Chains A and B, each alone.
Chain A
Amino acid sequence: MSSLDTIPVCTEVASGNVEPLLHEIRHALQRLAEGKEGTVIDLKRLPLAPGEEERIEATLGTGEVRAEIDALGPTLIQETSYPGVWLITHKNADDVVVARFVEVTYIPELLRSQQADIDAGIDRLEDELKN
């Protein structure tokens, strides 16, 4: 019985959207470097051919920082080989990707400790020390 991996699949189709997207990232990085605002690009909104998301990932490469957030399923935050360009992948508890963004910023907002969580943490620590 044949298995799925014996079926030839063409993966060299190009939507023509990879290059423009990479230029968009370059422009966003330039703006950030000039002290202007950051940019978030939703990868789910772009028509991409099979294999093109992987091409974008491969072109951006991996940088020095990699973080995983465990909140409503895992979120992977990877700085790419271009500092200031981050790849953010939100997954649900079934490990299914629910959203994917390229964020051009100094530090993704989600990595920062949030004020509401800090306040709740203070309460918890106080309770802990009382007991």
Chain B
Amino acid sequence: MRKDQNLGEYLRMQGVSRRGFLKFCSATASLMALPPSAVSQVAEALATARRPSVIWLSFQECTGCTESLTRSHAPTVESLIFDAISLDYHHTLQAAAGHGAEAAREAAMEENKGEYILVVDGSIPNGNNGYSTIAGISNYEMLKEAAANCFAIVAVGSCAAFGGLPNANPNPTGAVAVSDIIKDKPIINVSGCPPIPVVITGVLAHFLTFGTIPELDALGRPAAFFGQNIHDRCYRRPFYERGQFAETFDDEGARKGWCLYKLGCKGPTTYNACATLKWNQGTSFPIQSGHGCIGCSEPRFWDKGGFYDPISAGQWGSRDALLGAAAAGAALGVGSALAARARKKKAQAAEEV
């Protein structure tokens, strides 16, 4: 697709009929969690949509987010969303390497000043910038430089959105989220480890369709996908209401598909769209497959206690809190031992009298 073409012209040149275009718009509206009645508005907006430039930076990450995204790159409908953006830099996916790749990034930033979308996956080491570099440029410097003239930032994955696993205790690299460094640009957090692929494409489709920032929740996540918690949209919720829980992974309750709350499911405190959009082309999601939600789209999910401990057992917010609790527990233990020893001495003294 040429940069001066709009999407409607491009699709017509590709031999896509108006009927095919309406199908594309229906699927896109569904992807963006818009009501079906919005299809005509989507069609009108998409027909005249221009191709936005996208620069994708990968920092301290495992490539799981990019893997997730490329899995959503199914032929036809969703691929059209990718054809409709200009992915000018993504060092994992692009053929160019070294100076050529960096020159492409710099050229795209210059040509699309103030208009390009910056996608970031991975956290940024802020303790020692040398922990992670690309072409000799630290992640911190590259983020600051690329963010300066972007239209908006999409922080893809829990690492970019909240610090994620690199930020987990003891956080050896001093990993931080994009929002800890960039304060003057709109940031859309698409959290998850990895995020649901169609949520990534849904956010890009929103830009493409409306050219605006979608409505966000308190943590900067698109409300259309993160507006409800897993628990409220879980098909096992009726079992929770009736107090029917699996106690182990192989008991009768587990076989009958009862609620996994007691096995550590974090659905009640996790906001994401897994229960409806599902994974692997809509096949299933963790709870449907018999494992509780681990809360991967929430900040500091890795440090909130055991994945198999129920929420009612408490979720420790930080290592300090955990150490504090451990110290308090230890003090309580020492106190109990001293009291027991005192009781024993008192009892012995009474016997001697």
Chain A residues engaging chain B, CB cutoff 8 angstroms: 8, 10, 12-17, 40-42, 44-50, 52, 69, 71-73, 75, 90, 92-94, 96-99, 101, 109-110, 114-117, 120
Please choose the segment from B29-37, B188-196, B300-308 that sits at the chain A interface, where 4 or more of its residues have CB less than 8 A away.
Answer: B29-37
B residues near A101, Cβ cutoff 8 Å: 26, 30, 36
Contact status A114-B78, CB under 8 Å = no
Contact status B277-A73, CB under 8 Å = no
A101 to chain B, nearest CB (A): 6
Q: How far apart are the CA atoms of A42 and B275 in the complex, in Å?
A: 15
The answer to whether residues A96 and B74 also contact, given A44-B30, A72-B16, A117-B17 and a CB cut-off of 8 A, is yes
Q: How far apart are the CA atoms of A48 and B20 in the complex, in Å?
A: 28
Q: How far apart are the CA atoms of A32 and B168 in the complex, in Å?
A: 55
Q: How far apart are the CA atoms of A42 and B255 in the complex, in Å?
A: 30
Contact status B235-A92, CB under 8 Å = no
Contact status A90-B27, CB under 8 Å = yes
Q: Which residue from chain A places its CB closest to the CB of B16 in the assembled complex?
A: A72
Q: How far apart are the CA atoms of A17 and B276 in the complex, in Å?
A: 13
Q: How far apart are the CA atoms of A101 and B35 in the complex, in Å?
A: 11
User: Interface SS of chain B: helix, strand, loop or mixed?
Assistant: helix
The answer to whether residues A72 and B20 also contact, given A45-B33, A94-B74, A99-B27 and a CB cut-off of 8 A, is yes
Which of B20, B256, B282, B288 lies at the interface centre, i.e. has the most chain A CB atoms within 10 A of its CB?
B20
Q: How far apart are the CA atoms of A75 and B76 in the complex, in Å?
A: 13
Render B237-269 as a binary contact track against A, CB cut-off 8 A, 1 for contact.
111000000000000000111000000000000
Contact status B256-A72, CB under 8 Å = no
A58 to chain B, nearest CB (A): 18
B344: Cβ under 8 A from any A Cβ = no
Report the contact-size class of chain B (Cβ under 8 Å from the partner): 35 or more
Other A-B pairs, 14, CB within 8 Å; known A92-B74, A101-B26: A10-B257, A40-B36, A44-B276, A46-B276, A47-B237, A48-B235, A49-B236, A52-B235, A71-B16, A71-B17, A90-B77, A93-B75, A101-B36, A114-B17
Contact status B235-A47, CB under 8 Å = yes
Contact status B235-A90, CB under 8 Å = no
B24: Cβ under 8 A from any A Cβ = yes
A residues near B77, Cβ cutoff 8 Å: 72-73, 90, 92, 98
Contact status A92-B36, CB under 8 Å = no
Contact status B257-A93, CB under 8 Å = no
Q: How far apart are the CA atoms of A52 and B288 in the complex, in Å?
A: 13
B residues near A44, Cβ cutoff 8 Å: 30, 276-277, 282
Among B63-90, those with CB < 8 Å from A are: 74-78, 80
Q: How far apart are the CA atoms of A45 and B23 in the complex, in Å?
A: 17
A residues near B18, Cβ cutoff 8 Å: 114-117
Q: How far apart are the CA atoms of A117 and B235 in the complex, in Å?
A: 42
The answer to whether residues A69 and B23 also contact, given A15-B235, A15-B238 and a CB cut-off of 8 A, is yes
Among B148-172, those with CB < 8 Å from A are: none
